[in-house]
Amino acid sequence: MTEPFKIAYIFPGQGSQKVGMGQDLYHSHSLAREIFEEADDALGLPLSRLCFEGPDDELTRTDNVQPAILITSVACLKAAQETANDHLPSPTFVAGHSLGEYTALVAADVLSITDAVRLVQHRGRLMHQAGQKKPGGMIAILGASKEDVEDLCLQSGCTIANINCPGQIVISGGIDNLDKANKLAKAKRIHQIPLRVSGAFHSSLMQSAVDEFGEIVSNTTFQQPTTPIVANVTTQPLDNVAEIKEELLNQLSNCIRWQHSVEYMAQEKVTTFYEIGPGKVLSGLIKRINPALRTLNISSTEEISRLKANSLIAE
């Protein structure tokens, strides 16, 4: 007897945004339109217009881009569910990369869309403020082993912020630390790319954000998850509210271990990952983590329309 396939819904994080995202969904799917309108009302600002029209520098501001990616991702999910009806398989797990973890919480019925967009707007604001208090940044290190990156961090005073896939690790640090890491990497001929972020995210330099965000989280309503959420930090399933709240605080100042989260789900017999939201960043990472895993993207009306022909249904 063939064992039933398992799938996971995964949601992108900061960096996947682009001006125009979600506009086709807004005009073609009533449930998606409701999500954008609810988010605009919750925040008291035309976030949907910023998603659709930009400008880019305003969209990429940390406190704007985080709720913008979240609502676009949720709109993609709702549009897919509206279109596919019973043809869209239910996930065994949900997960998201950093910011995407909040979208996963919406998908698992832990947070309402109103609470989620408010939370991530506060999160973005506090992360930006923490970056101003203790200036820093992030660098993607490409093609190096984890051991080489650990050595680079040891010598420069930086820390590993993201383990995305084999050959792609992101480090965080203060301005001077990053400058030292940059020089060391060049001397060792290690390829690196500075990231467009406003601080040393997922490092101890975010501690001031953690402290204030903890109070906001404690005053937000969380429900028990209907689907296990695979955590960024522990890479294990979160199945109760206390664990979820702890994870949301920990991920601000600790390493996002995306590679290990995907490997955990694969060990649990997940064979297909639906990347739901703007861009295809996570699908690219998964192909490098394990080429045998299947990835499908749901980010536009064109991709969602294929659901009607069942061409996006896992086999």
Q: What is the pLDDT of residue 87?
A: 72
The catalytic residue among 202, 203, 253, 260 is 202
Asked if 198 is an active-site residue, the reply is no
Q: Could you tell me the pTM of the whole model?
A: 0.94
Q: What is the pLDDT of residue 295?
A: 95
**Phi, psi angles (nearest 5°) of residue 120:** -75, -25
Complete DSSP assignment for the chain? -PPPPEEEEEE--TT---TTTTHHHHHH-HHHHHHHHHHHHHHTS-HHHHHHH--HHHHTSHHHHHHHHHHHHHHHHHHHHHHHGGGSPPPSEEEESTTHHHHHHHHTTSS-HHHHHHHHHHHHHHHHHHHHHS-EEEEEEES--HHHHHHHHHHHT-EEEEEEETTEEEEEEEHHHHHHHHHHHHHTT-EEEE---SS-TTSGGGHHHHHHHHHHHHTS-----SS-EE-TTT-SEE-SHHHHHHHHHHHHHS-B-HHHHHHHHHHTTEEEEEEESSSSHHHHHHHHH-TTSEEEEE-SHHHHHGGGGTTTS--
Q: What is the pLDDT of residue 309?
A: 58
Asked if 202 is an active-site residue, the reply is yes
Q: What is the pLDDT of residue 4?
A: 66
Cα dist. 75→39, 97, 279 in Å? 11, 17, 14
The catalytic residue among 16, 48, 73, 98 is 98
Q: What is the pLDDT of residue 310?
A: 52
Residues of the chain where predicted confidence (pLDDT) is lower than 50: 1-2, 311, 313-315
Q: What is the pLDDT of residue 1?
A: 42
* Domains of the chain, earliest start first: 6-131+204-309 (3.40.366.10), 136-194 (3.30.70.250)
Q: What is the pLDDT of residue 314?
A: 44
Residue with tokens 């984890």: 146
Q: Mind listing the pLDDT tens digit for each residue in 258-286?
A: 999 999 999 999 999 999 999 999 999 99
